[in-house]
Amino acid sequence: MKIDIISVVPELLESPLQHSIMKRAQEKNLLTVRLFSLRKWAVNDYGQVDDYQYGGGAGMVMMCEPLANAIDELKTKTNYDEIIYMTPDAPTFNQKIANQLSLKNNLLIICGHYKGIDQRIRDHYITKEISVGDFVLSGGELAAAIIVDAVGRLIPGVLNNETSALFDSFQDNLLAPPVYTRPAVFRDWEVPGILLSGNQKKIDEWRYEQALIQTKQKRPDLLKDEDLGEQ
């Protein structure tokens, strides 16, 4: 998979994508992430990529011309499955969207900044808009890093145990069950005996029951009515 990202401050993305699982994914050539500074397509020698908004009001707006030229140039070399704009007024990102995007080959992510981007870019170029929550960030860079991480870890071969992602929270609209590791007893706090039994069928049943309990308590909105009526 290849993910290209256009940003006014691409430096903000360097550290999150150069460590841990994302680093290994790129070293294995399973994921390629390229960062592009929008100022490469600035409208003048001063590096201008934003301007005052028509109609007045506080806040600068990312201009049409740099973004259009950047997207046009990148599209000559890559056929993007989605051109994504990170914005707080979009549908909220979730595991279902991550799963869908992980099946794509090429993604282009546009990071908003200042007051946002000229609406004409959204109208004519953007194929998918994503928010990471009902709050406003200084820019779309940290949000883009979230997308890359959530999607990248789903690519086959990225995780050492490829089944691990299948049991993450939200994969089946359930939160993950509690997890434990050694020692079996710590400060008189014991690991549930079922997990030490070696009976995988019983362990799987326990994990499902615990996932259901966790979800009912913490995120009942994820469950269907028939799920809430169980137990």
- Residues 100-133 pLDDT 10s: 999 999 999 999 988 899 999 999 999 999 999 9
Q: Where are the domains of the chain?
A: 2-152, 169-228
**CATH number for the domain whose boundaries are 169-228:** 1.10.1270.20
Higher pLDDT, 6 or 161: 6
Region 166-193: what's the mean pLDDT? 85
* pLDDT of the residue at 84: 98
pLDDT confidence tier of residue 10, bands split at 50, 70 and 90: very high
pTM attached to this predicted model = 0.87
The amino acid at 147 = I
Q: In angstroms, rounded to a whole number, what is the distance separating the alpha carbons of residues 7 and 140? A: 8
Q: How distant, in Å, are the alpha carbons of 62, 71, 116, 178, 215 from that of 218?
A: 39, 41, 34, 13, 5
Which CATH fold would you assign to the domain 2-152? Alpha/beta knot (3.40.1280)
Give yes or no on whether 2-152 and 169-228 have one common fold.
Answer: no
User: Is residue 227 predicted with pLDDT exceeding 80?
Assistant: no
How many other CB atoms are there within 10 angstroms of residue 187's CB atom?
6
* pLDDT of the residue at 31: 96
